[in-house]
Amino acid sequence: MIRFEDIQEQVLSYMPDADMELLRRAYVFSAMEHRGQVRSSGEPYLTHPLEVAQILAELRLDLTCVIAGLLHDVIEDTLTTREVLEEYFGKDIAHLVEGLSKISRIAFTSREEAQAENFRKMMLAMVDDIRVILVKLADRLHNMRTLEHLSPRQQQRIARETMEIYAPIANRLGMGKIKSELEDISLAYLDPEGYASLVSALEERRKISDDFITEIRTTLETKLQEQGIRCDITGRVKHLYSIYKKLRVQGIDVGQVYDYLAFRILTPTVKDCYAALGTIHSIWRPVPGRIKDFIAMPKPNMYQSLHTSVMSEKGQPFEVQIRTPEMHGIAEEGIAAHWKYKEGKKVKAGEDPNIQWLRQIMEWQQELRDPRDFLKMVKVELYPEEVYAFTPQGQVKSFPRGATPVDFAYSIHSEVGHHCLGARVNGKLVPLKTPLHNGDIVEILTNPAHRPSQDWLSFVVTSRARSKIRQWLNTDRRSSSIQLGKSLVERELKRFHISAKILHGDGKLTEALNSLGFPSLDDYYAAVAYGKVSVKQLVGHLVPETDWKEPTESKITTVVKKALGLSGAAVKVRGLDDVMVYLAKCCGPIRGEPIVGYITRGKGVSVHSQRCPNVERLLYDPERKIEVAWAGSKETKFQVRLNITSEDRQGVLARVTSAIADEKSNISDVSAKTFEGKQGQIILTLDISDLDHLERIVKRLRGIQGVHQVERQSG
């Protein structure tokens, strides 16, 4: 069993002047807090934090990390609070331990790969100190090493979580050694048979492998020395999971895997790395497509190395990795290699101009005195463009920065998006355009009657939401266009006394539509509504013009009857379902005055007053004219603006307003001003029930002493 002294010794080996008193206090504190607790293995619980601290010390991490390792479970598993930790050990350590407890509360449950990806990113996005992740990985590593003591169900769950979340995170941070160990242990639990057969197959070949390794290594050493290249060569069987994956991907049997052996050459300089590569290719034939230069182009996780696969004399392929000792440190420990105790001395890894990522971090580090700021920069570098939010059921979803509840709604289902009425973020109602933040819990409120709005397009950021909203708006417009076009066509047919049956018939119709370039009758209707094609064009194909009867102009059917006038808002028309009708803004007709309907392109029927100057211009296309009539409730009020000129006499305004009150009209807006020459102007906005009402009011106003002129204003 591990002892505290082991950790102490390890820490002193690389931090001779570290605060041992603080480390000891953390140990005693952890021992007190976990007193009496026992692990599933039967060991005292304390062994776990000790082992975790030891792993962190082996990575040569700073004292804060090692102490956080000792204390990592105290908030989660004992009665200790963050405040107590802060009082005893300071802000930094308390912050790390709190971050760890936060992470452990996220339960990964889904089997979807995309979910795993989101969980990984979420975890990284949630912590503001990358050391939280380093301690968490050490914690998980020790738990995996002791997984045998748990129940089979727990083993499955933890192994899967490790494979899908923690190993990729270790990989993302460049910590190759921990990643490989996590993967291999997980594999042993996730596919025990596959694991066992792989182990035994490799065991069977062990003798051959060992001989092969010795032989190749000897050749390599000799040849490289001849070239004056100093080097350190190791040969090994690749880690199990990487071989396992290869078998799976290529669908082959273990007997067919040849390049399960890999050699690693460490050589002092980058120049030597390339020289060694040349030498190797002069001895063995390289396998095409397998040469990779990660020195010139490092992986995103900072990994650098040259890779090649070559064919031995006996036809056995093997892989060779070539790198400098510094690159090796990064390959094994990744970000941890740069988070080592380094008081008073600078890390030398920035020397190679090709290590861009690292160089940048080094630069930041020089600019930023506070290591916490440095870590924030590292974090920002990881995933700057994304934001993660939860469903109330705990599913994580990833979005581009700036995403809103509407984006969230559409990511669930397009129906949820279409009927999205509002959103609760972390239990609070927010406007639909509120940007989401990491860790937000988003609940979407829907109403089946609610519809997408054009306005949404101005703030959604996901292409899914954008295209679904567009699609909906287009379909909506299209269906009203089809309705409108259909009624137009039927009306025209009636005018020429042609039976509408010709539209529901035989091959002749399809033929006619095809020749006009329409895939279906609906497409044709829509085109008619948009004014792209005339009714005659189709009818001409179906009925010879000689058979056409004289049109009857007199009997235009009244098609549109509706309670027009809900202050200009579009309203639906009875008898012509789903056609939108609205009062034209240019003239604002009111009940009782003669009106004209005009079929617009794709926006329904606009209703103008016959006196409107636009009517003549709009109706150059007689096919688009449609008869409309006032219908519906008399309760509806229309807004009318009156422009009154008067003598600027005290009391005119008072008499005007009282006359209007007498006529039971409401004034919704009024402005009055005086011009030179004592002329006054009053502009009133009134609620009017119909034309009679308006005429009565105008007549009374004209009778008021001092009033010169009363005019109705358009627009």
Which chain residues interact with Mn ion by CB under 5 A? 73, 139
Residue the block writes with tokens 């129940």? 151
Nearer to Mn ion, 139 or 161 (CB): 139
- State the Cα–Cα distance between residues 525 and 478, nearest whole angstrom: 10
Nearer to Mn ion, 162 or 483 (CB): 162
- The DSSP output letter for 149 is G
Q: What is the DSSP string of 598-614?
A: EE-SSS-EEEEETT-HH
Question: Which residue's CB is nearer to Mn ion, number 38 or number 429?
Answer: 38
Is 98 in contact with 70 (CB distance < 8 Å)? no
CA of residue 568 relative to chain centroid, distance: 38
Q: Which is nearer to Mn ion, 136 or 486 (CB)?
A: 136
Of the listed 77, 386, 523, 690, which one is catalytic? Answer: 77
Kindly tell me which of 123 and 224 has the beta carbon lying closer to Mn ion.
Answer: 123
To the query of whether residue 663 is one of the catalytic residues in this protein, the response is: no
From the CB of 439, what's the least distance to Mn ion, in Å? Answer: 22
Residue 187 beta carbon to Mn ion: minimum distance, rounded to whole angstroms: 22
CA torsion sign for 502, 506, 508, 510 is: positive
CB of residue 118 to Mn ion, shortest distance in Å: 23
Residue 157 or 541: which CB sits closer to Mn ion?
157
- For the chain, the helix, strand and coil percentages under 3-state DSSP, each to the nearest 5: 50, 15, 30
CA distance 586 to 357: 62
In the complex with Mn ion, the residue whose CB is nearer, 70 or 124, is 70
In the block, tokens 């380093």 appear at 134
Question: Contact 55/81 with Cβ under 8 angstroms?
Answer: no
Helices (runs of H) and strands (runs of E) counted in the chain: 28, 22
Phi, psi of 60 (to 5 degrees): 55, 40
Q: C-beta of 273: minimal distance to Mn ion in Å?
A: 40
Quickly list DSSP for 429-464. Answer: EE-TTPPP-TTEEEEEEE-TT----GGGGGT--SHH
Q: Which is nearer to Mn ion, 85 or 254 (CB)?
A: 85
Q: Are 175 and 335 in contact (CB under 8 A)?
A: yes
Half-sphere exposure of 552 (CA within 13 A, CB side): 10
Taking the complex as a whole, the smallest distance from the CB of residue 73 to Mn ion amounts, in Å, to 5
Left (φ > 0), alpha (ψ -120 to 50) or beta: where does 42 sit?
Answer: left
Catalytic residue among 76, 215, 593, 648: 76
> Which residue has the CB atom at the shortest distance from Mn ion?
139
Nearest-angstrom CA–CA distance, 119 and 7: 32
Instruction: Provide the minimum distance between the beta carbon of 275 and Mn ion in the complex, in angstroms, as a whole number.
Output: 46
**Residues 407 and 462: beta-carbon distance below 8 Å:** yes
Tokens of 511: 């033929």
Active site residue 77: yes
Q: Cβ 95 to Mn ion, closest distance in Å?
A: 17
CA angle 27, 33, 38 (to 5 degrees): 100
For 545-599, strand residue ranges (E) read 560-562, 571-573, 576-583, 595-599
What whole-number distance in Å separates Cα of residue 320 and Cα of residue 281? 11
Shortest CB 139 distance to Mn ion, Å: 4
CA distance 599 to 295: 68
Separation of first and last alpha carbons in the chain = 89
CB of 383 to Mn ion, least distance (A): 25
Measured from the CB atom, the residue of 143 and 481 that comes closer to Mn ion is: 143
Residues identified as active-site: 76-77
